[in-house]
Amino acid sequence: MLLTITTTHRPATDLGFLLHKNPARPQSFDLSFGRAHVVYPEAGDDRCTAALILDIDPVGLVRGRRGPAGEGGLLTQYVNDRPYVASSFLSVALSNVFASAMAGRSKERPELADASIPLEARLSVVPCRGGEVLLRRLFEPLGYAVTVTPHALDGRAPEWGTSRYFTLTLAGTQRLASLLTHLYVLVPVLDDEKHYWVGDDEVEKLLRHGEGWLAAHPDRALIARRYLKHRQSLVRDAIARLVSDEESEEDDSGAARDAEEHTLERPLSLHEQRLEIVRAVIRESGATNVLDLGCGEGRLLRRLLEERQFTRIVGMDVSYRSLEIAADRLKLDRMPAMQRERITLLHGSLVYRDDRLQGFDAAAVVEVIEHLDPPRLAAFERVAFEFARPRMVAVTTPNAEYNVVWPTLPAGQFRHRDHRFEWTRAEFEAWGSRVTERFGYVVRFAPVGPAQPDVGSPSQMAVFARKDTDV
Ligand code: SAH
């Protein structure tokens, strides 16, 4: 794990006074998870760069040999990315190795510690759930010019696309203490993974390090949510304390966003209708084993379980958190063995070919496709219709024409902020027809929800049947 910090503020070697590390002398520090080294690859009057190298001991972390009591056995896999990427280990290292600099203190150059100077930080590898978009959303509002270089998943298989790893450069005129606290808070947020348990004092830490910038950050709620590992009570506490009184109503949590969509549609109980229709068409197809692709929190799975006809039910979602909620709601851990054997939850993405999806009679894809970027939608089509290739597939998506019935959409143009598109009936039908031609299916379309003149129903369904079957 490598972080470099460069300044061109003259004399640039003053960076050593700010960091309390002499450019002429490499230093090493013992940490609970390995060792940190500080060296200066360049130290001139015009330009000076300090490098923080973390040498993380992955085997020690797994065996629990390293780390204070209670923190042992941090990781369960010997092979993991932690030694190579910027993660919450970096935050711990920053607060240990550069404690005074983070607090904005410098014995020799106090005025420089208070000054904004040209700084550039480069993280050789950061994992980021949310990709370049999120990297920019988090750092640009803080005044950085952000440069992002994505890394391929596998250099030998470029068609697999990019990984969640990036090289990140942040350039801006900042106090060094601000740069360090931004990294301290935001690096674990990017990763959305933390190696230690989040306790109540994490809220204090977040607010302390976020002082002066977090409250005004447009993504403060996301930052709080991820930093506090989605522990709702802590997140609520943090947001309440970040937000001034007049705005305190706002809570941008993921649950709140989903609620937006559901509140909007509640008078129609539209989602219920969708799920009932999908349950019915799948039951009527005679399927005995069924996939729920993008199963979310398991609303359809619960209905499918009620049908004895289905002996094998598999839900898949890319969101691990949603699967946890589904497992909880379905009470999987308390289910009688016979029942438990009928259902499997899979963590996976619908845009990658996955052999676990093969051999099914039917698949449901309820309100999922509109969450996929257009190039990913093309990948999904192949995954579902070419590789998984169930006998029938029921797909639902919002009908964009109906949106005029709702005078104000909370998500702006769309019903949900994460929607990448919403289609008219003609657009959905055109897509469905292309799918049938390309993959050898036939399709019929049905409205979902009460229709209005001209604009149709709020939601729409396509039922695909493989040509070589007679569903
Ligand atoms: N079908 C569920 C959830 C719909 S919300 C229901 O009707 O209640 C959309 C779901 O699609 C979310 O749970 C989201 O995590 C999932 N999703 C989005 N992109 C995905 C992908 N590439 N692979 C698998 N699931 C995905």
| Burial of residue 179, with CB atoms counted within 10 A of its CB: 0-12 exposed, 13-18 middle, 19 or more buried | buried
CA of residue 412 to ligand 1 center, whole Å: 20
Rounded CA-CA distance 239/242 in Å is 5
Q: How far is the CA of 369 from the centre of ligand 1 (A)?
A: 8
What are the backbone dihedrals phi and psi of residue 367, each rounded to the nearest 5 degrees, phi first? 55, 50
Looking at residue 248, its pLDDT comes to: 37
pTM of the model: 0.51
Nearest protein CA to atom 18 of ligand 1, as residue: 371
Atom number, ligand 1, closest to the C-alpha of residue 366: 1
Task: State whether the beta carbon of 291 lies less than 6 angstroms from ligand 1.
Answer: no
Ligand 1 pocket residue status of 370, Cβ below 6 Å? no
55: β partners: 35
- pLDDT for 76 equals 53
- Smallest CA separation from ligand 1 atom 15, residue: 319
268-466 is classed CATH 3.40.50.150: yes
Q: Using CA positions, which residue lies closest to atom 17 of ligand 1?
A: 294
Which helix (H) or strand (E) covers residue 345, if one does? strand 343-347
For ligand 1, is residue 206 a contact (CB within 6 Å)? no
Rounded to the nearest angstrom, the distance between the alpha carbon of 322 and the centre of ligand 1 is 9
Give the domain ranges of the chain: 2-196, 268-466
For ligand 1, pick from 324, 368, 393 the residue to mutate: most ligand atoms within 8 Å of CB. 368
Q: How far is the CA of 471 from the centre of ligand 1 (A)?
A: 26
Residue in 270, 317, 330 to alter for ligand 1 test, most ligand atoms within 8 A of Cβ:
317
- Which residues contact residue 225 at a Cβ distance below 8 angstroms, ignoring those fewer than 6 apart? 235, 253, 254
Distance from residue 276's CA to the centre of ligand 1 (Å):
18
How many CB atoms are located within 10 Å of the residue 51 CB?
A: 18
User: Which two structure tokens, joined as six digits, stand for 42?
Assistant: 């360049």
395 within ligand 1 shell (Cβ under 6 A)? no
Q: Hey, whose CA ends up nearest to atom 11 of ligand 1?
A: 294
Position in ligand 1 atom list of the atom nearest CA 367 = 4
According to the model, what pLDDT value does residue 59 have?
67
Architecture of domain 2-196: 2-Layer Sandwich (3.30)
Confidence at residue 426, expressed as pLDDT on a 0 to 100 scale: 96
**Could you give the CA distance from residue 130 to residue 318 in angstroms, rounded to a whole number?**
13
Q: How many CB atoms lie within 10 A of CB 14?
A: 20
Residues of the chain with pLDDT below 70 are 59-79, 194-200, 244-269, 407-412, 470-471
Find out whether the beta carbon of 120 lies less than 6 Å from any atom of ligand 1: no
CB-ligand 1 contact for 296 (6 Å cutoff): yes
The H or E element containing residue 50 is strand 48-56
CA distance 299 to 70: 37
Residue 435 structure tokens: 């799918």
Q: Where are the beta strands (DSSP E) in 130-209?
A: 145-152, 162-174
Is the CB of 8 within 6 Å of ligand 1?
no
Pocket test for ligand 1, best of 367, 371, 415 (most atoms within 8 A of CB): 371
Q: How far is CA 368 from CA 263, 295, 296, 364, in A?
A: 18, 9, 9, 10
Q: What is the position in ligand 1's atom list of the atom closest to the CA of 376? A: 22
Ligand 1, atom 12: nearest CA belongs to which residue? 296
163: alpha, beta or left? (left if phi > 0; alpha if psi -120 to 50)? beta
Distance CA 139, CA 168 (A): 10
Kindly state if the Cβ of 277 falls inside 6 Å of ligand 1.
no
Q: How far is the CA of 294 from the centre of ligand 1 (A)?
A: 4
For the Cβ of 299 lying below 6 angstroms from any atom of ligand 1, the answer is yes
